[in-house]
Chain A
Amino acid sequence: MGQYLGLFFANGVVIGSIYALIALSFNVIYSTTGIINFAQGEFVMIGALTTAWLHVAMHLAMPLAILAGVFTAAVVGLACYLVGLRPAKGASPVTYIIITIAISIILKSLASFVWGTDPYTLPKLVQGGVRIGAGEVDKHSLLVIPVAGMCMLLLVLFFRYTRVGLNMRACAENKEGARLCGISVNNASAASFALGAALAGVGGVMITPILSMQFDAGMMMGIKGFSGAILGGFGNPIGCVIGGLMVGVIEQFICYFSSGYKDILALVIVVVLLLLRPRGILSR
């Protein structure tokens, strides 16, 4: 196993940085609205499938397809909030969770009607590979890490310097207070859904050339991202990134032993960590 250690680690960081983006997208929505969105994985799938469909079937140029895919995910996210969650205002957290599960089922079956049930892939952005230990990692995969890093940087800038970002942070801090300052909590929540869905969509676009994507892959993506967010601790963006990376790395090392049980064992570890550190691994 020794000579493959580096390879597993590299792959883990690649997949993990995508999970980290999804975890962050959970966090963006959660901190602003207090809603855990179980449909988050469907935004990953919608971003990925829109891009893949536009590029592969409609022959749209890659950059345009990616933009369109991320934009579609954002619009769907916004629509979900406006149609599904805003009307249920004041419901209990359990009700919100079940509504987002309902949304997830609806989006999944709609996607299967729009794009069919076959898996889609995207061509890799860069060809070739890099030797790590006894194995080789795609250059494309390695590109994922800086792209994810850049998204996170943009996110930091967004939350620090734009009016919408500051409004969202104010809502996360104290909803009543934000309202008293003339901030529309409704608009900030809507914006958080659009932004969260867009982030998830970016994650989907990046993972599609590596793992391929189909209409029912969203749920598992969402659970992985959610696990990352919970491991890192909700409300803590740095924790979410670390949690996402951890889920990715753990999963890749499990793959070495048995790829069939990858999802099961990853979830077992998540549950155990959840029990040991319910507030996240960074908590004291």
Chain B
Amino acid sequence: MMAKYPRSKPLWKLYIGPMIMALAVAAFPMIARGDYSYLLDLGRLCGIYVIIVCGLTLLMGYTGQISLGHAGFYALGAYIPAVLISAFHWPLWAAVIGGILGTAVISLLIGSSILRLQGNHLALATLAVGIIIGEGVSKLAITGGADGLFGLPQITLFGLLTRPEVRVLGIKISQGVLQLYFIWAVVVACIVWAVQLIESPGGRSLRAIHGDEQAAESLGINTFALKVKVFVASCVLAAIAGVLFAFVHAEGNLLPEEFGLMMNVQLVMMVVIGGMGSIWGSVAGGVILTVLHEVIALIGSAAGAADTSRIEHLIFGVMLALILILSPSGLIPGLKRATTRIIELRSK
């Protein structure tokens, strides 16, 4: 089926990006100095957000459907398996599969109803869904309420991730680094999938919906079905990120703060900062915002401030507004344009 259509890019061009990224991540622990475990922590968190933002970019950037509620699905991915384990004593692997499938089913139900809405209505509905789930997990008794769930098992990959260090070809790799590699392996897989999708006929249909939904419909594209598919796919990616957060990054201790109202906004911000129309922009957006968060916290604690969240929100808000006003296509395309302009001016 797919072979009938010409690819717009040769294969090597599609995969060179993910490969470079994989190499960069592999090299990261060797380059990183200083507070090592702290940097690993940061690297893992970046990877988790990049997975969500990757899906959200497909939905918002390519299909043009806004979602202000993806933190909700991120929460489902973390909490469904956690509840299955803590309340129903499922084994970890079954709970994780159950969590991802459960999120897929829930997002299918929600998506197939609310994606009939458009624009402002869709924005409100998705925001409402995000708040409902986020508030729900912080209030329900079965999810531990505001105290969260503790002592959940961790993903061990057949014991690989529990060892303090592993030797590969004579190189020692510590546990934290292995966890980082594991998360970023998932990230690379997600990005390969997304890049593949975008360059396929299906991806072109998505962009057609963004351009003009009625025109796409008239070309024989089942726009509604496609929108629901992308919505579910992006929710599944968010759920995978949730699983990685709960069972690798947070080491089995799950708190509802991670999935609050601000997370919904932060995810959208990552998409916007990177540039709404590019997968690589979403990688950049996820990494930039996560690193910035840590930098602000570091500067704040060095300056003796106890709570940096308010100043952080201020900085994020100003950044988001400036980017949208000055360069609505995102930070990366904006910088690209600015540099080409400077080069043009120089050569004159």
Q: Which residues of A contact B (CB under 8 A)?
A: 36, 38, 84, 87-88, 91-95, 97-99, 101-106, 108-110, 112-113, 117, 219, 223, 226-227, 230, 234, 260-261, 263-264, 267-268, 270-271, 274-275, 278
Contact check, A88 vs B324: say whether CB atoms are below 8 A apart: yes
> Which B residues are CB-close (under 8 A) to A271?
114, 125, 128-129, 132
Q: Which residues of B contact A (CB under 8 A)?
A: 60, 64, 66, 68, 113-114, 116-117, 119-121, 123-125, 127-129, 131-132, 135-136, 139, 261, 265, 268, 272, 310-311, 313-314, 316-318, 320-321, 324-325, 328
- Among A36, A108, A110, A275, which residue has its beta carbon within 8 angstroms of that of B123? A36
> Which B residues are CB-close (under 8 A) to A264?
131-132, 135-136, 139
Contact check, B125 vs A274: say whether CB atoms are below 8 A apart: yes
> Which B residues are CB-close (under 8 A) to A103?
317, 321
- Among A99, A106, A268, which residue has its beta carbon within 8 angstroms of that of B314? A106
Tell me the bound Cα distance from A173 to B290 in angstroms. Answer: 44
Tell me the bound Cα distance from A274 to B115 in angstroms. Answer: 12
Tell me the bound Cα distance from A110 to B66 in angstroms. Answer: 27
Tell me the bound Cα distance from A263 to B128 in angstroms. Answer: 10
Contact check, A101 vs B265: say whether CB atoms are below 8 A apart: yes
Tell me the bound Cα distance from A270 to B230 in angstroms. Answer: 24
Given contacts A264-B132, A267-B128, list 14 more A-B pairs with CB under 8 A.
A88-B325, A95-B328, A97-B66, A97-B123, A99-B321, A99-B324, A101-B68, A109-B311, A113-B314, A234-B120, A261-B139, A275-B116, A275-B117, A278-B121
State the Cβ distance, A193 to closest chain B Cβ, in Å. 15
Q: A36-B120, A97-B66, A274-B124 are in contact. Are A263 and B318 (CB under 8 A)?
A: no
Nearest 10 A-B pairs (CB), nearest first? A105-B317, A106-B317, A109-B314, A102-B320, A102-B321, A267-B128, A109-B313, A36-B120, A109-B310, A88-B325
- Dominant secondary structure at the B interface: helix
- Dominant secondary structure at the A interface: helix
Tell me the bound Cα distance from A36 to B328 in angstroms. Answer: 18
> Which A residues are CB-close (under 8 A) to B116?
275, 278
Contact check, B124 vs A263: say whether CB atoms are below 8 A apart: no
8 A-B residue pairs with CB within 8 Å: A38-B123, A97-B123, A102-B317, A260-B139, A264-B135, A268-B128, A271-B125, A271-B132
> Which B residues are CB-close (under 8 A) to A101?
68, 265, 268, 320
State the Cβ distance, B126 to closest chain A Cβ, in Å. 9
Contact check, B124 vs A230: say whether CB atoms are below 8 A apart: yes
Q: A223-B131, A261-B139, A264-B139 are in contact. Are A112 and B325 (CB under 8 A)?
A: no
> Which B residues are CB-close (under 8 A) to A274?
114, 117, 121, 124-125
Contact check, B313 vs A94: say whether CB atoms are below 8 A apart: no
Instruction: Tell me the nearest residue of chain B to A117, going by C-beta.
Output: B310
Contact check, A268 vs B132: say whether CB atoms are below 8 A apart: yes
> Which A residues are CB-close (under 8 A) to B261?
219
Tell me the bound Cα distance from A36 to B132 in angstroms. Answer: 21
> Which A residues are CB-close (under 8 A) to B265?
101, 105
> Which B residues are CB-close (under 8 A) to A219?
261
Tell me the bound Cα distance from A226 to B121 in angstroms. Answer: 10
State the Cβ distance, B91 to closest chain A Cβ, in Å. 31
Contact check, A87 vs B310: say whether CB atoms are below 8 A apart: no
State the Cβ distance, B281 to closest chain A Cβ, in Å. 15
Tell me the bound Cα distance from A230 to B128 in angstroms. Answer: 13
